[in-house]
């Protein structure tokens, strides 16, 4: 694009305005090469050596995400888990980490097992309560504070700026899993975060057809160099076709997220008054505990994720999910189709997820259709 400053939505829609210099195509090619030609003097002036380190197909997605997050550099990974775990593997055995008690279950499980066995000292706290973070952080000992906000599946909100101040005062880095907020709603680096992680499988891609992860760093520093090395040496790179599909999905990120936010807000308000719903968990509701913090750091909406706690407990919740038609019973979130899931069944023993909770990922269908479908499912389950 020209030197004019464009809105983030425009940058995403045009993938930074990139045009293929040879064909003048407005959509980039997929580079399938696994290796690159060495110069006659044994150098690599192209900057490319081997595709396990990088691939030209990565360039657009990484550059676009860097611009959207306001960071220094981005890396795309083979999954959200590979991106997140890289942030912990860049530490050393014995390092102390403070992290969210409520978070993506697979990462929580990895931290409780592999990371702990490897030697990290993991301390779980309710990071939506800033005083708990302050009490847990050990100056000079804590190396990383890791938060997920809003946190899956209760959507608790952690104050990024306040926690960044606590972490940095103690000499620690702050990593933020911003998968649900997306750069459309929150740019954690502007609030003091050092690393932003996305399960790019979700909203960044938005079409439920790839598995991918991404990191954006506030600085291109020694920690960032470790992350790049980990991606290369562990081989946790994204396939070329998946990288192309990720960029394809990011072009529609802003309209998709805006639609999902409006629809989720509408559904949250309607189900908050539903006689068969015990509670609605959604940051956009003024009654929600994290609403004030969310309003401070989420601009333009409160996300497309909400959870409903069904009257009648676990049995009623599972029975409700069994009776939907438009909503799809499936794991994942952030796609164009709306998904419903009984999370406690998925997470199993030890989950902090209430057994009566149904997690809802709101897609781009008509909000009234989504309400009607879940409404009839609740009624049928209640009368069963």
262 is written with which tokens?
């409006």
Q: Are 67 and 16 spatial neighbours (Cβ–Cβ below 8 Å)?
A: yes
Provide the phi-psi class of 238: left if phi over 0, else alpha when psi is between -120 and 50, else beta. beta
52 is catalytic: yes
Query: In this structure, what are the phi and psi dihedrals at residue 333, rounded to the nearest 5 degrees?
Result: -165, 170
Beta-bridge mates of residue 156:
151
Q: Which of 52, 101, 129, 138 is catalytic?
A: 52
Query: In this structure, what are the phi and psi dihedrals at residue 352, rounded to the nearest 5 degrees?
Result: -85, 0
- One-character DSSP codes across 178-202: -TTTHHHH--GGGGT-SEEEE-TTT
Q: What angle do CA 254, 257, 260 make, to 5 degrees?
A: 150
- Closest Cα partner for 189 from 65, 41, 83? 65
Q: Which of 73, 108, 187, 202 is catalytic?
A: 202
Q: Which of 104, 203, 223, 282 is catalytic?
A: 104
Q: d(Cα 214, Cα 60) in Å, to the nearest integer?
A: 13
Q: d(Cα 289, Cα 272) in Å, to the nearest integer?
A: 14
- One-character DSSP codes across 188-251: GGGGT-SEEEE-TTTTTT-SS----EEEEESS-SHHHHHHHHHHHHHT-PPPHHHHHHHHHHHT
Q: Which of 159, 177, 194, 373 is catalytic?
A: 177
Taking each helix axis from N to C terminus, what angle separates 367-383 and 313-321, rounded to the nearest 10 degrees? 130
Q: Are 128 and 290 spatial neighbours (Cβ–Cβ below 8 Å)?
A: yes
157 is written with which tokens?
């909100």
Distances (CA, A) of 252 to 10, 44, 60, 232: 10, 35, 15, 29
177 is catalytic: yes
Residue 303 CB neighbour total at 10 angstroms: 30
Q: d(Cα 137, Cα 145) in Å, to the nearest integer?
A: 8
List residues with catalytic annotation.
52, 104, 177, 202
């Amino acid at each position: 694009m020209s030197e004019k400053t464009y809105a983030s939505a425009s940058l995403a829609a045009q993938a930074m305005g990139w045009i293929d210099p040879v064909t003048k195509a407005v959509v980039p090619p997929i580079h399938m090469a696994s290796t690159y030609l060495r110069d006659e003097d044994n150098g690599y002036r192209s900057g490319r050596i081997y595709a396990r380190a990088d691939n030209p197909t990565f360039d657009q997605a990484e550059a676009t995400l860097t611009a959207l997050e306001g960071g220094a550099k981005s890396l795309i990974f083979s999954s959200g888990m590979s991106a997140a775990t890289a942030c912990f593997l860049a530490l050393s055995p014995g390092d102390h980490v403070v992290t969210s008690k409520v978070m993506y279950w697979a990462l929580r499980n990895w931290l409780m097992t592999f990371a702990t066995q490897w030697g990290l000292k993991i301390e779980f706290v309710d990071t939506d309560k800033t005083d708990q973070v302050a009490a847990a952080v050990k100056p000079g000992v804590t190396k990383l504070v890791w938060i997920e906000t809003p946190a899956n599946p209760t959507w608790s909100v952690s104050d990024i700026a306040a926690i960044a101040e606590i972490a940095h005062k103690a000499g620690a880095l702050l990593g933020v899993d911003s998968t649900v907020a997306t750069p459309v709603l929150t740019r954690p680096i502007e609030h003091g975060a050092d690393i932003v992680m996305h399960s790019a499988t979700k909203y960044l891609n938005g079409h439920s057809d790839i598995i991918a992860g991404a990191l954006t760093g506030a600085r291109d520093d020694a920690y960032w160099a470790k992350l790049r090395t980990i991606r290369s040496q562990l081989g946790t790179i994204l396939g070329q076709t998946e990288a192309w599909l990720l960029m394809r999905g990011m072009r529609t990120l802003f309209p998709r997220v805006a639609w999902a936010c409006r629809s989720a807000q509408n559904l949250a308000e309607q189900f908050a008054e539903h006689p068969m719903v015990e509670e609605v968990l959604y940051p956009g509701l003024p009654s929600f505990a994290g609403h004030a913090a969310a309003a401070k750091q989420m601009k333009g909406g409160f996300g497309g994720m909400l959870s409903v706690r069904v009257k009648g407990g676990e049995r009623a919740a599972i029975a409700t999910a069994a009776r939907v038609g438009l909503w799809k019973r499936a794991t994942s979130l952030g796609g164009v189709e709306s998904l419903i899931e009984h999370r406690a069944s998925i997470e199993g023993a030890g989950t902090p997820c209430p057994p009566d909770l149904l997690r809802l990922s709101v897609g781009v269908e008509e909000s009234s259709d989504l309400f009607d479908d879940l409404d009839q499912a609740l009624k049928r389950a209640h009368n069963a």
